[in-house]
Amino acid sequence: MTVGIKDVARLAGVSPATVSRVLAGRAVDSDMQERVLAAVKSTGYRPNLSARRLRSQHSNTIGLIVADIRNPFFTAVSRTIEDVAYARGMRVILCNTDEDPAKEEMYLRLMQEERVTGAILAPTRRGVEKVDAIPKDFPIVLIDRAGTSRQHDSVLLDNHAMAALLVRHLHEQGYRRIAGLFGAASTTGAERRAGYEQAMAQLGLDPEAVLVDHAPGAAEAAVARLLQATSRPEALIASNGVMLTRVLHAVRDMGLVIPGDVALAGFDNEPWMELVGDGLTVIEQPVAEIGRTAMTMLLDRLDHPDAAARRIVLDGRCLVRGSSTPIRRTSAAA
Amino acid sequence: MTVGIKDVARLAGVSPATVSRVLAGRAVDSDMQERVLAAVKSTGYRPNLSARRLRSQHSNTIGLIVADIRNPFFTAVSRTIEDVAYARGMRVILCNTDEDPAKEEMYLRLMQEERVTGAILAPTRRGVEKVDAIPKDFPIVLIDRAGTSRQHDSVLLDNHAMAALLVRHLHEQGYRRIAGLFGAASTTGAERRAGYEQAMAQLGLDPEAVLVDHAPGAAEAAVARLLQATSRPEALIASNGVMLTRVLHAVRDMGLVIPGDVALAGFDNEPWMELVGDGLTVIEQPVAEIGRTAMTMLLDRLDHPDAAARRIVLDGRCLVRGSSTPIRRTSAAA
DNA sequence: AATTTATGAGAAAACGTTTTCTAATAGCCA
DNA sequence: TGGCTATTAGAAAACGTTTTCTCATAAATT
């Protein structure tokens, strides 16, 4: 019942090939073109993209695999990627791994079965080890996390440096006992932790890094444990925006005030972060640039399949706000 | 170069049809099955989903068209829809209209060309008028906005009642001059405005509704205009979460405090909303239930194409927080 | 003016599957 | 034991396009 290219051709009195050519915008007799366009309109013909993809062997689709679209960082990056893609006539398939390597593997397989033109992937910590096993003829750009893999293109934040920057900022404000909460399931967490520990060591401070699960409630529990200890930290660092939100909740629930009882700083800027209290000090990531760069790299890769893999490392901005005002010590200094 | 079902068949010494049957999990000789599976593994065969869809005539894909995935309401709903869909072996194509009817139309056309099994759509205000023109054989569920269309299934919030609820709450707290900011491009905004106006009228109050564009900066400008007027409103209502955030920003930028200078309430709950000041009073939508219901309706529709269209209206919860504490009048009462 | 080259249209093949159709074998009942 | 049915596998058609191939006609070159 559905109208196909043959029906259009018959109505217009031309061959299917001609209809295809008209639709592809290639040179045809203007009279025929007119008849074809009229026939398309009158039949309400809609090309079947599956058939088109099967025959033409390119999908014009890219896969986007992130941990969780509810994380505003990924939301923002995704949005940019989609806009660029659709502007180029490409579709995007979006998948959430929930930091689960099994899901990630399944979605990567799905992408191959969809014969996507390429994929943009934020791999899980365990997934990043397997990423080098992906066939070279499957173009991939890693975002946000790349681990040690140098085989694929990647666009990353300078996590190490940014975490260190945060530590030094807190140190300058007079904080000494600075604890850090880092995501356990992502390489991002690991890198930020390393930056944190190195900066702490350089300043002669004792690092206290906590690895936090992706599971709900984990961050809250970690905060409670930290702040109920005998020598409570003077400041907390949260390694991403979602965790920062949870830490904030947990601190409030304990009846503590920021920064009076404990200072707070973290990663990822969101519109509300300057509204809570006197604002939250954060490292803002260049989300739009990350998305745009990833798409550009992917398209470049398609043009030059054999070029060497590139790694682009971007810097964030440290937005200093009220949650890290200079410390006011109540008793003896450290 | 890519390995197809024929290659697998040749290696396993069976016909392509048999390979297809094994992969579909249908009954075959166990010896052959074993050989096929071995051949699949050794060749690294990946089925071509385009070919499969073309031949089998079902795409196992649903389209999801929302205004903007960066709006946390849509993010949350999308996430639920995706989870349900993938659990059923279906894919989701996600598109953002940016409240632009032209984009919406284009994406609806795209969905038809993809031969999606069905679509879930949050139509723009102008798009909702055209939605009845969509062929009946294209299953659609409208979410969040349905206007007067009764031809398609829909799952909605009781916008009228919820807006009225917010008005009555503010009235109970002692507020009288209550202004509302409503999205100009969505039917949601229109319905909430109607509820607001009716409730205001019933309480004998003068409504002051402002229609706010989707464009950036529009909400801020509207707030500035309202609060600089000679008789400044005592309370503001924002018709969705994004607008609420912007209103909050604007109020803060003017150096006013909430609720001391002006009270604030709105729609859509987000994790941070209990953290800013003494919390924001909002109507929380049952986002997960909306997503789940939409998917269920869509799947039902596929089973019963000729059943009458259903409209499911859900209630939200009013979360009372600090931004609407009882008014303390400085001078004479109204 | 004759030959080559360029252009454009139709016929038919091809893309990689699933499904229908046909045939063969095994199992069952009388 | 003979015929009938049920089951399973292979051959071939089909899905709706694009693209290659072939041919005819027009344009260009010598």
Residue-range domain boundaries for chain B: 1-46, 47-157+287-315, 159-285+318-324
List, in order, residues 6 or more apart from A135 with CB less than 8 Å away.
Answer: none
- Cβ contact A70–B79 (<8 Å): yes
* Fold type of domain B47-157+287-315: Rossmann fold (3.40.50)
> In a structure prediction context, what are the per-residue pLDDT tens digits for chain B, which is 334 residues long?
689 999 999 999 999 999 999 999 887 788 899 999 999 999 999 999 999 999 999 999 999 999 999 999 999 999 999 999 999 989 999 999 988 999 999 999 999 999 999 999 999 989 998 888 888 889 999 999 998 888 999 999 999 999 999 999 999 999 999 999 999 988 999 999 999 999 999 999 999 999 999 888 999 999 999 999 888 999 999 999 999 999 999 999 999 999 999 999 999 999 999 999 999 999 999 999 999 999 999 999 999 999 999 999 999 999 999 999 998 876 544 4
Which residues on neighbouring strands pair with residue A153, listed in sequence order? A141
Query: At the top level of CATH, which class does the domain A1-46 belong to?
Result: mainly alpha
Looking at every residue in chain A, the average pLDDT score rounds to 94
Shortest Cα–Cα distance, B110 to chain A (Å): 9
Cis amide prior to A135 (ω within 30 degrees): no
Quick check: A49 CB within 7 A of strand D? no
What topology does CATH give the domain A159-285+318-324?
Rossmann fold (3.40.50)
B78 touches chain A (CB under 8 A): yes
% of chain A at pLDDT higher than 70:
98
- CA dist B243 → A242, B213, B223 (Å): 21, 10, 10
With the C-alpha atoms ordered A91, A95, A101, A107, is the resulting torsion angle positive or negative?
negative
- CA–CA gap between residue A35 and residue A214 (Å, rounded): 59
Chain B residues whose beta carbon lies within 8 Å of the beta carbon of residue A271: 245, 249
What is A78-132 written as a DSSP string?
A: HHHHHHHHHHTT-EEEEEE-TT-HHHHHHHHHHHHHTT-SEEEE---TTHHHHGG
DSSP-H helix ranges across chain A: 5-12, 16-23, 30-43, 49-56, 72-87, 101-113, 127-130, 159-172, 187-202, 218-228, 241-253, 287-303
- A58 touching B, CB under 8 A? no
Phi and psi dihedrals of A11, rounded to 5?
-65, -40
For residues A95-114, average pLDDT: 94
Contacts of residues B118-122 at CB distance under 8 Å and 24 or more positions apart, as own/partner, are B118/B62, B118/B63, B118/B298, B118/B301, B118/B302, B119/B62, B119/B63, B119/B64, B119/B65, B120/B62, B120/B63, B120/B64, B120/B65, B120/B81, B120/B294, B120/B295, B120/B298, B121/B63, B121/B64, B121/B65, B122/B65, B122/B66, B122/B67, B122/B74
Nearest residue on chain B to A59, alpha-carbon basis: B50
B307 touches strand C (CB under 7 A): no
Q: Is the dihedral of CA A188, A193, A198, A203 positive or negative?
A: positive
- Asked if B54 has any chain A CB less than 8 Å from its own CB, the reply is yes
Q: From the CA of A12 to the C1' of C16: give the distance in Å.
A: 30
- What is the per-residue pLDDT for A333? 44
Establish whether domains B47-157+287-315 and B159-285+318-324 are of one fold: yes
Query: In degrees, to the nearest 5, what angle opens at C-alpha B321 toward C-alphas B239 and A215?
Result: 90
- Which residues from A are below 8 Å from B271, CB to CB? 245, 249
What phi, psi does A266 have (nearest 5°)?
A: -165, -165
**DSSP class of residue A276?**
S
Q: What's the mean pLDDT in A68-73? A: 94
- When pLDDT is averaged across residues A300-309 and rounded to a whole number, the result is 93
The nucleotide lying nearest B6 (C-alpha to C1') is C16
Chain A, nearest residue to B47 by Cα? A113
Q: Is the CB of A52 under 7 A from strand D?
A: yes
**A10 is near strand D: CB distance < 7 Å:** no
- Alpha helices, DSSP H, located in B123-265: 127-130, 159-172, 187-202, 218-228, 241-253
Mean pLDDT of A150-169: 96
The answer to whether the C-beta of B43 is closer than 7 A to strand C is: no
Give the per-residue pLDDT at B1. 67
Residue B114: DSSP 8-state: T
Q: Nearest nucleotide by C1' from B56 CA?
A: C18
| pLDDT tier for residue A147 given thresholds of 50, 70 and 90 | confident
pTM of the model: 0.92
Confidence of residue A331 (pLDDT cuts 50, 70, 90): low
Residue recorded with tokens 């009716």: B198
Which residue from B minimizes the CA distance to A58? B50
